[in-house]
Amino acid sequence: MKAWRIDSHGGSEVLKRVEIEQPKPGPGEARVDVRALGLNHLDLWVRKGVPGHQFPLPLIPGTDAVGVVAELGPGATGVKVGDRVIVSPGSSCGECAACRSENDPLCAKYGIRGETFDGGGADSIVAPARELIPIPDGVSFADAAAIGIPYVTAWSMVVRKARVVPGEYVLIQAGGSSVSIAATQLAKIHGATVITTVGDDAKIEKSKAAGADHVINYRKGPFREELKTILKAAGRRGVEVAIDHVGKDTFVDSMRSLAVGGRLATCGATSGGDVTIDLKLLFFKNLSLLGTTMGARADLARIVKLVGEGKLKPVIDRTLPFAKLGEALDLIESRKLFGKVVLTRD
């Protein structure tokens, strides 16, 4: 079968299209023929490399694969050949206390497909059958591929960690990214007023269409000044929750935007992780800093159900053929996308 493989870090030139042996499912596993692959900023980091982080090269990239169950290994249950499924981007032992309590990202054996081990950037992928989630009728492969990492990570921040409740104001940085769009939708269905930031006027209406109540173009001046105007009109001195995966460029301002008792949830640091904060701000205002990587598979199943019910709708900027992985990652790096880029089969 054909697969994308990364043997060394760098630009698009390190992405190799290779022929490899088709994997066979072992006990409790299933082989899924991949029909679509949602791409994330993580895939870009895997290609480029991250200082101080060791990726297990050579590696097949691709975190958010969806497709059709093609073969079952001995003892595999819960799915059957022909089922349309999402391959959970995270994998864990399924037996420890963390896994049994729906906290599988805390499992000592937890890993991420396409980062810790081979991912879905191939014709087929093998995974434990328990890590496959059925795609609801009426949900396309492309939409299903746009759910995984963005929505499960956003759920972890908005629902599990920040515990957004009706009536709260939520600031979401980088409103055009797929995780921020997911966070916007989740905050709205939990009754919040959402304020997002974008770097392009063309993204303002798109962010509002995704559910944002207010959108600030941070390139037109310090976003906190416009934020203060919005909050003053609402009789508020800060937001209850800030969602920030940008990191260095926005983190301190996100903290300063919080009301007393506010919560800041983060899942990334695309602009850098070296941040200096004033601890007095943290304890005098009784703030909470909440970190998360990925999210629980049980939460992903809940999200997929909401998508099937039409309560959540993944936003796809564009689809491209599988052969254009390099172009797709370059688009992510350009920051010109609003929502996901998804690779699809003809």
pLDDT in tens, 236-268: 999 999 999 999 999 999 999 999 999 999 999
Q: Whose structure tokens read 């290779």?
A: 18
Nearest residue to 169 (alpha-carbon basis) of 266, 246, 263: 263
Would you state the torsion angle of the CA atoms of residues 151, 172, 42, 27, taken in this order, to the nearest 10 degrees?
Answer: -20
pLDDT in tens, 297-324: 999 999 999 999 999 999 999 999 999 9
- CB distance 104 to 297 below 8 Å: yes
Nearest residue to 262 (alpha-carbon basis) of 154, 168, 191: 168
Q: What does the alpha-carbon distance between residue 315 and residue 243 come to, in Å, rounded to a whole number?
A: 19
Beta strand pairing call for 340-344 and 316-321? parallel
76 exposure class (CB count in 10 Å sphere: 0-12, 13-18, 19+): buried
The amino acid occupying position 113 is: R
Per-residue pLDDT, averaged over 167-184, amounts to: 98
Segment holding 99, helix H or strand E:
helix 97-100
Q: In the structure encoding, which two tokens stand for residue 160, read together? A: 């599990």
Per-residue pLDDT, averaged over 45-70, amounts to: 95
Neighbours of 17 (CB within 10 A): 13
Nearest residue to 198 (alpha-carbon basis) of 190, 189, 207: 207
Among the residue ranges 126-130, 176-180, 331-335, the one predicted with the least confidence is: 331-335
For residue 52, name the pLDDT band (cuts at 50, 70, 90). Answer: confident
Can you give 262-318 as a three-state secondary structure string?
Answer: EEEEECCCCCCCCCCCCHHHHHHCCCEEEECCCCCHHHHHHHHHHHHCCCCCCCEEE
Q: In the structure encoding, which two tokens stand for residue 185, read together? A: 């939708």
In the chain, the percentage of residues whose pLDDT exceeds 90 is 96
Segment holding 19, helix H or strand E:
strand 15-19
What SS3 class is residue 122? strand
Q: What does the alpha-carbon distance between residue 146 and residue 324 come to, in Å, rounded to a whole number?
A: 17
In the chain, the percentage of residues whose pLDDT exceeds 70 is 100
| pTM summary value | 0.95
Q: What are phi and psi of 51, to 5 degrees?
A: -55, 130
The domains located in the chain, with CATH, are 2-146+314-344 (3.90.180.10), 153-291 (3.90.180.10)
pLDDT in tens, 213-223: 999 999 998 89
- pLDDT for residue 346: 66
Per-residue pLDDT, averaged over 14-32, amounts to: 97
- pLDDT for residue 336: 87
Q: What is the mean pLDDT of the chain?
A: 96
